[in-house]
């Protein structure tokens, strides 16, 4: 936006003349790779806004959120079997808690505290932490098994999802006796690192910012924007980055889209305050949007 300003002798205010057209928009700022962390259960004050349960044999497999744990080893993000007496569950029986990365982003690491175990004599159960093409846990084992997850950060290749999984891998099916679940995984605390290289999209910029007239007092700016992880901050600067105004949106670090999608918004620039930052004359103003991973997009005019 090419803004020319003229100071009034009578009023300590900045008078701005503003023009905006399609040919005046500068090239978007280069994308900057960034990451953010999504937390759940005891890592997020007992909440779960990011892991989704799935079972394919309802009533005999369980996946769900039992948070906060309150110190109980039987709670957390849970994927397990139910006891069936002398019954057996079919090959492929599955209980899963799964976190899916937003579109155009990926899971690159995690820190999970919890445990997984299978019961002796129950056959081909496998339980633990899963990503596409890899599994960290225990089983299948005829004698039973257990493993602890101690909360250390684990890096991994970029993947679209991460899951807590309990599944039957035996073609003949797996035992599910009464009492202790045949197989189970519990996560008391889960932190997942998401990589996002996609910068926000800034759409139409409107209102008085494009009318080509002189302005004093407050000037409204209406914009549209979107981002796969959410727009967390929008700001207007002048020339060499002198701040004029900004707004930050509420952030939920328990969500895979921490700042929502924020498709529309508005800002107000007080030219009286701007007069203390920039002088009368021609100026370059920029509107920038920052997402949850710190990627920035900018629109400007010369």
pLDDT digit string (tens) for 233-285?
A: 888 887 777 777 788 888 999 999 998 766 667 777 776 665 556 666 666 77
Query: Could you tell me if 96 and 55 are in contact, meaning their C-beta atoms sit under 8 angstroms apart?
Result: yes
Per-residue pLDDT, 141: 85
Per-residue pLDDT of the chain (302 residues; tens, 9 = 90+): 444 443 333 333 343 433 333 233 333 333 345 999 999 999 999 999 999 999 998 888 999 999 999 999 999 999 999 866 557 889 999 999 999 999 999 999 999 999 999 988 788 999 999 999 999 999 898 788 999 999 999 999 999 999 999 999 999 999 887 777 899 999 999 999 999 999 998 876 655 555 566 666 777 777 778 888 888 988 888 777 777 778 888 899 999 999 876 666 777 777 666 555 666 666 677 788 899 999 998 876 54
| Res 213: pLDDT | 64
- In sequence order, the 6+-apart residues with CB closer than 8 A to the CB of 225 are 200, 201, 202, 203, 231, 234, 262, 263, 264, 265, 289, 297
Would you list the DSSP string of 127-151? EEEEETTEEEEE---TT-EEEEEE-
How would you classify residue 50: left for phi > 0, otherwise alpha for psi between -120 and 50, otherwise beta?
alpha
Print burial letters for 205-238: b (CB count within 10 Å at least 16), e (below 16). Answer: bebbbbeeeebbeebebebebbbbbbbbbbbbbb
> Which pTM was predicted?
0.82
Nearest partner of 117 among 146, 97, 141, 96, judged by Cα: 146
Return the DSSP state at 103: T
Angstrom distance (rounded) from CA 258 to CA 251? 5
pLDDT at res. 155: 96
Query: Sign of the C-alpha dihedral, residues 97, 101, 107, 111?
Result: negative
pLDDT given at position 234: 87
Place of tokens 């005829």: 142
pLDDT recorded at residue 273? 65
Instruction: Identify the three-state secondary structure at position 210.
Output: helix
């Amino acid at each position: 936006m090419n803004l020319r300003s003229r100071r009034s002798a009578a009023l300590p205010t900045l008078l701005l003349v503003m023009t905006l057209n399609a040919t005046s928009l500068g090239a978007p700022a280069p994308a900057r790779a960034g990451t953010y962390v999504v937390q759940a259960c005891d890592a997020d004050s007992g909440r779960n806004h990011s892991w989704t349960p799935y079972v394919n044999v309802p009533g005999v497999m369980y996946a769900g959120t039992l948070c906060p744990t309150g110190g109980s080893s039987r709670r957390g993000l849970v994927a397990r079997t139910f006891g069936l007496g002398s019954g057996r569950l079919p090959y492929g029986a599955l209980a899963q808690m799964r976190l899916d990365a937003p579109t155009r982003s990926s899971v690159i690491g995690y820190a999970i505290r919890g445990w997984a175990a299978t019961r002796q004599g129950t056959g081909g159960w496998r339980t633990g932490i899963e990503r596409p093409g890899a599994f960290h846990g225990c089983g299948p084992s005829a004698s039973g098994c257990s493993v602890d997850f101690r909360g250390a950060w684990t890096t991994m290749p970029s993947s679209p999802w991460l899951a807590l999984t309990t599944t039957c891998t035996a073609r003949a099916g797996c035992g599910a006796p009464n009492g202790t679940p045949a197989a189970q995984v519990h996560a008391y605390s889960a932190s997942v690192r998401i990589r996002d290289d996609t910068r926000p999209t800034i759409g139409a910029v409107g209102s008085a910012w494009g009318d080509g007239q002189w302005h004093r007092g407050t000037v409204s700016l209406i914009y549209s924007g979107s981002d796969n992880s959410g727009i967390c901050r929008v700001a207007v600067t002048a020339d060499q980055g002198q701040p004029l105004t900004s707004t930050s949106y509420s952030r939920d670090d328990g969500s895979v889209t921490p700042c929502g999608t924020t498709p529309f918004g508005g800002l107000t620039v007080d030219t009286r305050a701007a007069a203390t930052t920039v002088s009368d004359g021609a100026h370059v103003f920029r509107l920038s949007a920052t997402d949850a991973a710190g990627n920035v997009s900018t629109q400007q005019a010369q």
